[in-house]
Amino acid sequence: MRTSRPDHERWRPSVAPRLAPLPDDPEVIVVGAGAAGVAAARGLAARGVRVAVLEARDRVGGRLVTVALRGHPVDLGGHWLHAGPINPLVRLGTQRGEPLRVAAQESHLWVGRRRGRPAEAAALGRAFAVADRAMSTQAGWAGPDRPAATALPPGLGPWGRRVERVHGLVSGQSLDRVSLQDFPSMEYGDNRFIAGGYGGYLARLAQGLPIALGTPVTSIDWSGPDVRVQAGPRSFTARAVIVTIPTMVLRAAPLFTPALPPEVADAITGFATGIYEHAVLHWPSCPFRGADRLASLVGGREPSPGLLTRIDGTPFHFFELDAPMAAALDARGAGPDGVRRLVRTALAAHFGARALHDLSIPAVSAWRHDPWARGSWAVVPPGHAGARARLQAPVADRVWFAGEALSRLQWGTAGGAYEEGTRAAAAVAERLRSSDGLVTPAPGGT
Ligand SMILES: Cc1cc2nc3c(=O)[nH]c(=O)nc-3n(C[C@H](O)[C@H](O)[C@H](O)COP(=O)(O)OP(=O)(O)OC[C@H]3O[C@@H](n4cnc5c(N)ncnc54)[C@H](O)[C@@H]3O)c2cc1C
């Protein structure tokens, strides 16, 4: 059965940064200490703006969290640093000497109960190439919006269903529920990983920031010239607020007084919920060799969208769950143990029950049931393109939004969230500076 505390919140994060106390008289409140909130706070602090960050959870990082499982740091949320050339967390990590590594390009194919043949791997590769070409030529599609699935060329052959499934997994929803105008708006190639985990890296970036943990914001009043932010019994007043709460959470519980302008409220409610979950496998004898390789398992009775194998060269692997699988599990009320059973059944169908003798499944993520996330990332459904841009504009020069949902080029990612937090911080600081000239110029390298 579903528990009130999602499985992925049972572990302590592997990095707990030392945080600073909140200033008495903050100029800006940042709500949320995920990638966007940390970026915003760093950007403001670097410009000499007094900032206070209010975070609902008892940890920083939001949908990035690294925990120690059997002594290894394992990410239970985001783990790839996507889009290396444009990802600010890659740029910053390189400057800081963080242990980044380029993700492996090689992958595995398993068909039914055997390894895929070279000809099958080549056919799958061709189907991906044809689909990617068709989709990228329609990137930024300017005609009337329609589902991204309509861009897939016909005749992808027997591998077409696999290609569509993987694109659906990566998008967070099947392609018939994703806007073509918004897709594909990110270069997924050139990915990186980071030793010690993505969550651990973000936690290091939060070191020394003024963040109050366990402080869920319950209302934001922007009716006056200042903003009043209520967090249970605690009340904060500031000149501006940067809200990084996931759109799925904002949609579930409106916080604003007065209500947000209709175009902003519609932008928030119109996003669909992206679903992508992990079952973390500890499986030393897994038949796949080589670190950080994706494996496609096809032809089994239980459809499985994908595996990421031997993460960082360890016996840990991610079995990935997409939106249809999560919906089927939820429809029958399966909790984490139901996920474990499904994973074992799927793997046994491909490798035989005996091959699973040393398999354990220490953790199963359930971000869709997490009250502070309610999903993995925001998805733009057909007809809703433009929502990201609408949220980038401030409301009454007092309320700014930031977070993964706003990023078009790096949609759904921690890099996109960080970029948007940085952008909002610069805009807010500029706004304060232009109204009273009190703010000092920003040093680089935030
Ligand atoms: C399983 C999974 C795998 C993923 N894989 C990748 C990946 O490989 N690479 C990648 O780049 N991205 C990945 N993502 C997406 C990525 O994790 C997110 O896009 C990113 O972390 C979002 O950052 P954010 O700051 O926008 O939001 P969040 O990280 O969600 O931060 C928002 C913060 O606001 C807090 N909050 C919510 N409500 C309140 C409130 N009322 N008061 C105060 N605080 C509140 C939350 O607790 C949270 O800390 C994955 C996500 C999941 C779930």
> pLDDT tens, 354-412?
999 999 999 999 999 999 999 999 999 999 999 999 999 999 999 999 999 999 989 99
Distance 278 CA to ligand 1 centre (A): 15
Which ligand 1 atom is the nearest neighbour of the CA of 412?
A: 19
- CB 77 near ligand 1, within 6 Å: yes
Residues of the chain with CATH 3.50.50.60: 9-65+196-271+384-436
**Is the preceding omega at residue 258 within 30 degrees of 0, hence cis?**
yes
Give φ, ψ of 206 to 5 degrees. -85, -5
Q: Which CATH class is domain 9-65+196-271+384-436?
A: alpha beta
Distance 286 CA to ligand 1 centre (A): 30
Model confidence at 179, in pLDDT bands (50, 70, 90)? very high
| Smallest CA separation from ligand 1 atom 26, residue | 403
Distance 414 CA to ligand 1 centre (A): 7
Q: How far is CA 304 from CA 119, 323, 432, in A?
A: 21, 12, 51
Report the chain's mean pLDDT, rounded to a whole number: 92
Reply yes or no on whether the pLDDT at 3 is more than 80: no
- CB 8 near ligand 1, within 6 Å: no
- CB 172 near ligand 1, within 6 Å: no
Give φ, ψ of 358 to 5 degrees. -110, 20
Please give the pLDDT value at position 303.
66
Euclidean distance between CA atoms 425 and 226, whole angstroms: 17
DSSP 8-state assignment for residue 353? G
Reply yes or no on whether the pLDDT at 324 is more than 80: yes
Q: How far is CA 232 from CA 45, 58, 220, 440, in A?
A: 25, 15, 12, 33
Reply yes or no on whether the pLDDT at 271 is more than 50: yes
> To the nearest whole percent, how much of the chain has pLDDT over 90?
78
C-alpha 199 chain-centroid distance: 11
C-alpha 326 chain-centroid distance: 17
The interaxial angle of helices 88-96 and 414-436, nearest 10 deg, is: 90
> pLDDT tens, 110-134?
999 999 999 999 999 999 888 888 8
Return the higher-pLDDT residue of 25 and 7.
Answer: 25
Reply yes or no on whether the pLDDT at 164 is more than 50: yes
Residues of the chain with CATH 3.90.660.10: 104-190+273-369
Please give the pLDDT value at position 439.
44
**Is the preceding omega at residue 147 within 30 degrees of 0, hence cis?**
no
> pLDDT tens, 34-81?
999 999 999 999 999 999 999 999 999 999 999 999 999 999 999 999
Q: Which two tokens stand for residue 184?
A: 């594909």
Mean pLDDT of the 285-306 span: 87
Distance 9 CA to ligand 1 centre (A): 13
* DSSP H or E stretch at residue 240: strand 240-243
Give φ, ψ of 281 to 5 degrees. -100, 140
Reply yes or no on whether the pLDDT at 199 is more than 90: yes
10 Å Cβ neighbour count for 194? 24
Reply yes or no on whether the pLDDT at 441 is more than 50: no
Q: Angle CA(36)–CA(387)–CA(26) in degrees, nearest 5?
A: 35
- CB 151 near ligand 1, within 6 Å: no
| Smallest CA separation from ligand 1 atom 33, residue | 32
Reply yes or no on whether the pLDDT at 256 is more than 50: yes
CB 308 within 8 A of CB 294: yes
Euclidean distance between CA atoms 342 and 306, whole angstroms: 14
| Smallest CA separation from ligand 1 atom 11, residue | 413
* Residue 126, CA atoms < 13 Å, CB-side half-sphere: 11
- CB 361 near ligand 1, within 6 Å: no
CB 403 within 8 A of CB 246: yes
- CB 192 near ligand 1, within 6 Å: no
| Smallest CA separation from ligand 1 atom 13, residue | 78
Amino acid letter at 323? A
Model confidence at 158, in pLDDT bands (50, 70, 90)? confident
Q: Which two tokens stand for residue 402?
A: 């930031």
Mean pLDDT of the 166-195 span: 85
Please give the pLDDT value at position 2.
43
Of 173, 271, 372, 400, the one to substitute when testing ligand 1's pocket (max ligand atoms within 8 A of C-beta) is 372
- SS3 label, residue 317: strand
CATH 3.90.660.10 matches 104-190+273-369:
yes
Reply yes or no on whether the pLDDT at 243 is more than 60: yes
